Amino acid sequence: MRIYSIDFIKILSIYLVIVSHVSLYFLLQSPEDFGVLAARQSGQFGVVMFYMASGYFLLNNRRTDQFSYAYNKAKHVGIALIFWLTFYYFYDNMIIASFTEVEHHNFLAFINLDT
């Protein structure tokens, strides 16, 4: 059974994240524009809304031990995340760097997306 309000929240949150990513181009053109700054910040709200809508389906089940269910889900997502981060790290540093002039990064700098 579909819950259309949850679908609407996900659609709205996806739209806000896309607007946030597109607004980065305009933010580089005029960094003082308040409308562009507001659109950029709306993406953070969209991410939170998407996680809340996804969390509804994560915890809306008939299991008695919710903690172990959520822990097992998070563990599987974490294993997949570490696998793909390691894969792309070696891909970037061994394959791409051998054909281009891309500099090598250490693994901790590679997973830190703020730098």
C-alpha Rg value of the chain to the nearest Å:
19
pLDDT of residue 101: 77
pLDDT in tens, 8-45: 999 999 999 999 888 888 888 888 888 888 888 888 89
pLDDT of residue 110: 66
pLDDT of residue 37: 86
pLDDT in tens, 59-85: 777 777 878 888 888 899 899 988 988
For the chain, give every domain's residue range: 1-60, 63-115
pLDDT of residue 14: 93
Dihedral through CA 62, CA 65, CA 66, CA 70, nearest 10?
-110
The span from the CA of 19 to the CA of 46, in Å, is 10
> The pTM is what?
0.55
